[in-house]
A and B are shown apart, each in its own frame.
Chain A
Amino acid sequence: MSKVMEKKNVETSVENNKVSANTSKKAGDSSVFMVENLNLWYGADQALYEVSMEVPEKKVTAIIGPSGCGKSTFLKTLNRMVEMVPIVKTSGEIKYRNENIFNNKFQKEYLRTKVGMVFQKPNPFPKSVYDNVAYGPRIHGIKKKEVLDQIVEKSLKDAAIWDEVKDRLHENAYGLSGGQQQRVCIARALAVEPDVILMDEPTSALDPISTAKVEELVQELKKKYSIIIVTHNMQQAARISDKTAFFLNGELVEFADTNNLFQNPQDKRTEDYITGRFG
């Protein structure tokens, strides 16, 4: 594994310097999320400790770390899905586009419209492909068939699944393969025209070919969207992300440009993890 990583690092280390120079120059106005001193508890168990980070706009930010390190919890806090567990408590601040998402006036429905999510297991509704993708626009009040038709087609094209499903739009999405279902789920998230897309290990249930397709898609999508992706797979993080955050036991250990983090980790724990000494 480390061999693959090294090769990759050599290839992209030049680009990497450019990217980091770019991001540091205009860090202030080009971030979508500013997380400050975020703590989170499930009942009495603390799952996140004093997490602070800035998520850049129109970049892929990967979150890596061993199981149970809080990376999924952190992701779900960004669109407040974590509140579906009733015993969750938080402290600290998360600003989305300069507004605190924990503010009482900030509606979570609005947040989730702007911050879409793709889940670990493909989770299409037991409806047709069309109805799946049209779900978001419909709940936001779009009823005209022509408008919906347009949105569905555009979203499916943007999710690189249109050619595979254009002749079976009105068949149940459960009939598709796992990889196709996941891309329909991505199309469904795009149909709401979000600003940010959260992806929670989106390829962990997929075969290698479908995984490659989703990874390619992520590269396409970052031109228009800011993407935050939780992944268990370090090569995947190295392949597709611009920035990487390493979580361990609920703490953000290190957050840096992806190639810096993998090539030149600043923290001993990061180094141990990415060289496979634990996790």
Chain B
Amino acid sequence: MLGQNDQSIQSRMQGRVLLNKILMVLFLLATTVGLVFLVLLFYRVLTQGIGYLSWDYITSFPAPFPQEAGIWAGIVGSVFLMVIVATFSVIIGVSTAIYLEEYAGKNKFTDFVRVNIQNLAGVPSIVFGLLGLTFFVYMFQFGYTLIAGGLTMALLILPVIVVASQESIRAVPAEIKEASYGMGATKWQTIRRVILPAAIPGILTGAIIALSRAIGETAPLIIVGAATAIYTLPDSLLARYTVMPIQIYKWTGRPQEEWQFVAGAGIIILLAVLLLMNSIAVLIRNKYQRRL
């Protein structure tokens, strides 16, 4: 059969091979576009900011002169904020995902809840800022404090964590769940001993991506009143605070050129903290995966 059309197969083969090559080049180009802009960003930030980057810069509070300004308040504020955000969003998010995937029946109401959680993940962050302002700042009377900011950000990334956790819980093979139920395990025993251990790498990946988004977020925090310049570190959940991206944003808004370099140094720190957080999370993830 093939032998009879050898000639035409041969001629079409050329076309197929060529198409394959063209597509490969196109895919490579697409990858390059992203990489080029990333390299440009790093280059600009590094060349501008590196001069202002020093131990003093890391450990100093904001100051009226560029040479004396530092990002210490932003670093500490961001770290405190992330601890609050991670605690609330992961506990509530994973619990929600467990309920929706394992306990809730499949009916119109739960379908409605599922669709809306996915929609919430796409709501602009500024809307969450307004929500936080209404509830946490005014209604619960937390004021412009660390806890109000943390809870607002936790709400912002909650949908992302719920969806990611749902997906990794759903990806746990039905066979091993059946094995557990088949030995007389209850639902919770199966969740704790079989489903969660298998789903945790995926849940952590989702949490990392969500927290990375939160650490660079400014808009909702401006609404719920993060300070732009503070001279003491937050010492309680009800203290004023600032975060790195807000400091950077504030510095870039100043007219003198030196402040741009101060902001550049801040971006380097922000990127470094981001890298550190991601590395820690990847390490945790690998540890769990090895245990599997």
Contact = CB atoms under 8 A, between A and B. Distances in A.
B182 A116 contact: yes
A214 interface: no
A276 interface: no
Interface string A224-255: 00000000000000000000000000000000
Interface size class of A (residues with CB under 8 A): 20 to 34
B184 A113 contact: yes
A86 B105 CA distance: 8
Interface residues of B, number: 20
B106 A86 contact: yes
Interface stretch (B48-56, B148-156, B185-193): B185-193
A135 B183 contact: yes
B181 interface: yes
B14 to A, nearest CB: 44
A77 B185 CA distance: 17
Given A86-B105, A126-B292, A139 B184 contact: yes
Contacts of A138: 193
B178 to A, nearest CB: 7
Interface string A76-90: 000101001010000
A112 B186 contact: no
Contacts of B193: 135, 138-139
A98 B242 CA distance: 69
A65 B173 CA distance: 27
B184 A140 contact: yes
B179 interface: yes
B35 interface: no
A113 B193 CA distance: 17
Contact of B194 (A110, A113, A125, A172): A125
B183 A126 contact: no
Contacts of B106: 86
Nearest to B105: A86
Given A125-B194, A126-B292, A139-B189, A116 B179 contact: no
Interface string B46-68: 00000000000000000000000
Contact of B183 (A86, A121, A136, A172): A136
Given A126-B198, A139-B189, A188 B183 contact: yes
A106 B63 CA distance: 72
A86 B104 CA distance: 11
Interface in A44-86: 79, 81, 84, 86
B183 A123 contact: no
B271 interface: no
B178 A81 contact: yes
B110 to A, nearest CB: 12
B235 interface: no
Interface string A121-165: 101111100000001101110000000000000000000000000
Interface of B: 105-106, 173, 175-176, 178-186, 189, 193-194, 197-198, 292
27 contacts: A79-B182, A86-B105, A109-B185, A109-B186, A110-B184, A111-B184, A116-B182, A116-B183, A119-B178, A119-B182, A121-B175, A123-B175, A123-B179, A125-B176, A125-B179, A125-B180, A126-B197, A126-B198, A135-B180, A139-B184, A139-B185, A139-B186, A139-B193, A140-B184, A172-B292, A192-B183, A192-B184
Given A125-B179, A126-B292, A139-B180, 7 more contacts: A109-B185, A112-B181, A113-B183, A123-B173, A123-B176, A135-B193, A172-B292
A-B pairs with lowest CB-CB distance, top 7 = A113-B184, A123-B175, A117-B182, A112-B184, A136-B183, A126-B292, A109-B184
